[in-house]
Amino acid sequence: MKKFSQLIKTLDGTNKTNVKVAALAEYFTNAPDQDKVWTIAILSHRRPPRPVNTTLLREWASELAHIPLWLFEESYHIVGDLAETIALVVPSDESSTDKSLSAFLQEMIWLKAQSDEDKKAYLYRNWKQLDYYGRFVFTKLITGGFRIGVSQKLMTRALAKATGIDEDILAYKLMGNWDPNTIDFQDLILEEKKSDYLSKPYPFYLAYALENEPESLGDVTEWSFEHKWDGIRAQIIVRNNELFTWSRGEELVTDKYPEFEVFIGRLPNGTVIDGEILPYPNKEIGTFNDLQTRIGRKNVSKALLKKTPVILKAYDLLEWQGEDIRTRPYSKRRNLLEKMVAGQDGIPLFLSEKMEFTSWQEVAEERELSREKRSEGLMFKRKDSPYLVGRKKGDWWKWKVDPLTIDAVLTYAMRGHGRRSNLFTDYTFALWNENEEGEKELVTFAKAYSGLTDAEFRKVDAWIKKNTLERFGPVRSVTPHHVFEIAFEGIAESKRHKSGVATRFPRILRWRKDKKIHEANSLEDLKALIPHTVETE
Amino acid sequence: MPMKKPLLEFTEKGIYCHAAKVYLDPWKPVDKAIITHGHADHSRWGHKQYITHPTNVPIIKHRLGDIEVAGKEWGETFTVNGVKFTLYPAGHIIGSSQVRVEHKGEIWVFTGDYKLENDGVATPYESIKCHTFITECTFGLPAFLWRPQKEVFKDINEWWAQNKSNGQTSVLFGYSLGKAQRLLKHLDPNIGKIYTHGAIENMTDVLRPMIDFPATERITRDTKKEDIKGHMVIAPPSAHGSTWIRRMVPFVTASASGWMAFRGARRRRAIDKGFVLSDHCDWPSLLEAIKEIGAEKVICTHGYTDIFSRYLRDLGYDARTEATQFEGENAELNVETEISESV
């Protein structure tokens, strides 16, 4: 555990990629094998289910620290991280412990089934023994992910450095459904094997955003185009009469989308399709907001299945007749895919329409139609490109539509988390609306917490602290005074939002110091941005 | 019968003693001001007359130029319009004082900024009995718990030695009055040379006649990169990210501040290393100070005032909050608010 704590401390303490990779590689070389497996699991979001809920954690920590619960809560709001707050307030004799990371995690699996009393005794014992950073890491293991800027890719790179195994092969080995409690390092990483690859997807190939004018890509006829659909990127696998659906987060989501079960028998065994799961209410593509109703649910009710069914828009074919065809040119893979999908009537499988153009001007015109077609923009794929691993530049590009924007008034603020705890950086924005009495009032429409520089955040923070109207726990209402330009990717009607409108990925584009609040936009202006669907062919 | 005015009031200009017509650490220009210490949020421009501990006289003159200032020793009672004033050491930075105010049997104490630990530079805090205690609570949250400075300086010196063996220069940020000298006093000169930013060198020069500090070298335009390599540089927080710091390459940065207790604070400022070292009371010290004084009333002025005073009320004290314009250690967090000092 000391080694793991030290690793987390180093990763947390730097924003330099090389330092992170070096620290991880060092750890993957020297730590005990089973600890390595658990570290991989934790950094790829495969930690065991939370053994104690956070309400109990707060109660017990405040009790152990001899402070009232309200004071613990206030401290938490200011510190911004539960595990860090606990590590700071609970007293310790730092008698230390040399228990391994895997021993701790096995205890946490065991802990989940114990009585509250036993859980409390276990936490007290460990909080007392560990030093400050050990206490923080231990509590983080209970509460959830470490936000320390280590992507799966970065971890894989370090693992490749430590083991000498190729990065792509490691990425493949680490995908899928393995359990850190039952698998060992030999089995997971070192051993070469062909068996249990039945459920394994291929690493996704991801595109970078276009950096220059499309014309810079040369001859337009060397490229294929598709719309960039706004759903969940997924791989559908049919092997040995079994179906597996993987999301891009490398999560097995087969059970969430029972619609795809009909693919068994209709698609030949040894098929892997890369595509996008899209909501399809009333037999047309819905909004991401529609899909939200399906994402969180493990068990999908019949009513929901009927109201918001999903389809797969197929982009690419990765495995054909049991053979990995990723190195074949895109145009060839695409031909095989089209043949496979053709004639498959009555199942929720559609081709993502491939388009070809004779000029970049036509490409730009097609992009303008994206919102009406419920897409986020265009994808460019070089006709002779292989299917690569991860985010790579050169053969695939995405060209998203420009975000929608609106000028809104800052009305509420909350302290941020992590790096921004102690600063008011989470904001709520409102637009003008006429109420029943014909008076203009501000109606909340979105929250945003990114897009300003650190210096701007500090200025807004200082202003908020001086212009607070009321406090509601961690939230403050402020005098309407500042106007910000808010950008967002998509917009749809919503019954769940007070404004009647849901926006997708809202963020701050700029601080409009030149505008007074009466110059901000109205809810009506926002609603005018909701696209009206046009027929797709 | 008119209601009796409290001995000290919180007004737009600052903490005011009506009976004496004297302000304590006022933030707007007044005729007569008693000043607790030399930090910019406590000793401001524009007062006609300053009264402070003699140690602070050269500090305040260095900062504010030629002003009319009178020195009063700790424990030396002086009377203004029948009100008795006495300064006592506050342990915050060199010269920092508490103000005891006595009138018609009623005693108030205003702490300014303070800490209980003896840091080896500032004269240590003394507990003064009073009826009403006006306290800062910059770090008035149970999340703040300082380790003894001996341990912290062991870490700082080890960090320096490690950087030196890696061929890197150590850049340590601390406020130019107070923190910088505390760092200087406890750095181990056997590890290497100690360089200073001009603002810190100037302030330290003012204090050298009173305190024995290790030798330092001012960084000037002529200082060579190769000469600094592996050594220690003490700089004000505002130097972080400036062009000035580029001549230290290759360097690693650290900040010594109470805020470094939070991971977020260090990451927000993109500092390589944070040492938790403060010139203010931590949570247990605040509670200890208040308990020892035995005051009936406690007024919290700056820091986590609402939270801290609510907790004091939970404990049975008559505690409340008053708004002031003191910033505590915020100046170290927000570089913009720091008074810029010439290099």
Task: Express each pLDDT in A154-188 by its tens digit.
Answer: 898 999 999 998 776 787 778 767 889 899 999 88
Q: Which of B145, B261, B307 sits opposite A71 (nearest CB)?
A: B307
Best B139, B141, B309 member to test A by mutation, with max A CBs in 10 Å, is: B141
Tokens representing residue A289 in the block: 């907001």
DSSP classification of residue A216: G
For residue B327, name the pLDDT band (cuts at 50, 70, 90). Answer: confident
- pLDDT number for residue A410: 95
Q: Which of A68, A88, A454 sits opposite B314 (nearest CB)?
A: A68
Where does A144-197 have alpha helices with state H? 152-163, 167-174, 185
For residue B343, name the pLDDT band (cuts at 50, 70, 90). Answer: very low
Residue spans of chain A under pLDDT 70? 168, 176, 193-197, 250, 298, 418-421, 532-537
CA atoms within 13 A on the CB side of B127: 14
Any CB–CB contact under 8 A between B189 and chain A? no
* Single-letter amino acid code for the residue at B335: V
Q: What CA–CA distance (Å, rounded) separates A24 from A34?
A: 15
What is the H or E stretch that residue A237 is in?
strand A232-239
Question: Which SS3 state, helix, strand or coil, does residue A229 take?
Answer: strand
Any CB–CB contact under 8 A between A418 and chain B? yes
- pLDDT number for residue A419: 60
* Single-letter amino acid code for the residue at B287: L
Cβ contact B343:B245 at 8 Å: no
Contact B264 A88 (CB under 8 A): no
Contact A418 B264 (CB under 8 A): yes
Any CB–CB contact under 8 A between A19 and chain B? no
Give the bridge partners for A205, in sequence order: A390
Q: Which of B262, B307, B314 sits opposite A422 (nearest CB)?
A: B262
What is the H or E stretch that residue A62 is in?
helix A54-64
Any CB–CB contact under 8 A between A13 and chain B? yes
CATH of domain A2-143: 1.10.3260.10
Best A69, A89, A464 member to test B by mutation, with max B CBs in 10 Å, is: A89
Q: What CA–CA distance (Å, rounded) separates A218 from A117?
A: 68
Contact B311 A71 (CB under 8 A): yes
CATH superfamily of B9-143+279-337: Ribonuclease Z/Hydroxyacylglutathione hydrolase-like (3.60.15.10)
Any CB–CB contact under 8 A between B252 and chain A? no
Whether the predicted pLDDT of B178 surpasses 70: yes
Q: What CA–CA distance (Å, rounded) separates B143 from A446?
A: 32
- pLDDT number for residue A255: 81
Whether the predicted pLDDT of B338 surpasses 60: no
Give the bridge partners for A323, in sequence order: A320
Tokens representing residue A370 in the block: 């994206």
Contact A15 B270 (CB under 8 A): yes
Sign of the dihedral defined by the CA atoms of residues B64, B67, B68, B72, in that order:
positive
Where does A90-115 have alpha helices with state H? 101-111
| Cβ-Cβ contacts under 8 Å, B261 against chain A | 88
- pLDDT number for residue A324: 95
Q: At what angle do helices A152-163 and A17-30 cross, to 10 degrees?
A: 50
Q: Which of B141, B334, B336 sits opposite A75 (nearest CB)?
A: B141
Task: Express each pLDDT in A409-457 by its tens digit.
Answer: 999 999 877 666 678 889 999 999 988 888 899 999 999 988 888 889 9
Contact B267 A419 (CB under 8 A): yes
3-state DSSP helix/strand/coil percent for chain A, to nearest 5? 40, 25, 35
- Chain B's closest residue to A13, CA to CA, is B272
- pLDDT number for residue B61: 95
- Chain B's closest residue to A415, CA to CA, is B264
Listing from the earlier edge strand, what are the strands of the sheet with A223-229?
A205-209, A390-400, A375-382, A223-229
Tokens representing residue B147 in the block: 């380790």
Q: At what angle do helices A17-30 and A33-43 cross, to 10 degrees?
A: 140
Residue A122 vs residues A48, A87, A134, A299, A456: alpha-carbon distances, Å = 17, 15, 15, 33, 44
Cβ contact A376:A404 at 8 Å: no
Any CB–CB contact under 8 A between B323 and chain A? no
Whether the predicted pLDDT of B329 surpasses 80: no
- pLDDT number for residue B342: 27
Q: Which of A74, A417, A420 sits opposite B307 (nearest CB)?
A: A74
What percentage of chain A has pLDDT greater than the value 90?
Answer: 57
Contact A80 B307 (CB under 8 A): no
Cβ contact A328:A183 at 8 Å: no
- Chain A's closest residue to B314, CA to CA, is A68
Q: What CA–CA distance (Å, rounded) separates A43 from A62?
A: 29
Could you tell me the residue ranges of all domains in chain B?
A: 9-143+279-337, 149-275
- pLDDT number for residue A470: 83
DSSP classification of residue B113: S
Best A74, A81, A423 member to test B by mutation, with max B CBs in 10 Å, is: A74
Q: What CA–CA distance (Å, rounded) separates B103 from B109?
A: 12
Cβ contact B236:B174 at 8 Å: yes
Tokens representing residue A498 in the block: 């007070």
Q: ipTM for the complex?
A: 0.91
Question: Which SS3 state, helix, strand or coil, does residue B67 take?
Answer: coil
- pLDDT number for residue B341: 28
Q: Hey, which residues 123-182 in chain B have their CB within 8 Å of chain A?
A: 141-145
Cβ contact A167:A189 at 8 Å: no
Residue A333 vs residues A249, A315, A320, A324, B222: alpha-carbon distances, Å = 24, 10, 9, 11, 66
- pLDDT number for residue B3: 67
**Beta strand B49-52 pairing with B69-71:** parallel
Any CB–CB contact under 8 A between A56 and chain B? no
Q: Give the Cα-Cα-Cα angle B223, B227, B230 (nearest 5 degrees).
A: 125
Q: What CA–CA distance (Å, rounded) separates A459 from B43?
A: 24
- Chain B's closest residue to A420, CA to CA, is B264
Tokens representing residue B291 in the block: 């308990």
Listing from the earlier edge strand, what are the strands of the sheet with B251-256?
B217-218, B194-196, B232-235, B169-173, B251-256, B273-275
Q: Which of B142, B263, B267 sits opposite A67 (nearest CB)?
A: B142
| Nearest residue to A410 via CA among A505, A484, A463 | A484
For residue B333, name the pLDDT band (cuts at 50, 70, 90). Answer: very low
Any CB–CB contact under 8 A between A71 and chain B? yes
Average pLDDT of span B183-207: 96
CATH of domain A404-527: 2.40.50.140
Any CB–CB contact under 8 A between A72 and chain B? yes
The answer for residues whose C-beta is within 8 angstroms of residue A407's C-beta and 6 or more apart is: A483, A484, A485, A486, A512, A515, A519, A520, A521
- Chain A's closest residue to B334, CA to CA, is A458
Give the bridge partners for A468, in sequence order: A478
Could you tell me the residue ranges of all domains in chain A?
A: 2-143, 205-400, 404-527
Contact A418 B270 (CB under 8 A): no
What percentage of chain B has pLDDT greater than the value 70?
Answer: 94
Looking at domain A205-400, which of 2.60.40.1930, 3.30.470.30, 3.30.70.3000, 3.30.230.10 is its CATH number? Answer: 3.30.470.30
Cβ contact A260:A243 at 8 Å: yes
Q: Which of B264, B311, B336 sits opposite A422 (nearest CB)?
A: B264
What is the H or E stretch that residue A84 is in?
helix A82-89
Fold held by B149-275: Rossmann fold (3.40.50)
Tell me how close the Cα of A418 comes to any Cα of chain B, in angstroms.
5
The answer for residues whose C-beta is within 8 angstroms of residue B141's C-beta and 6 or more apart is: A74, A75, A78, B283, B304, B307, B308
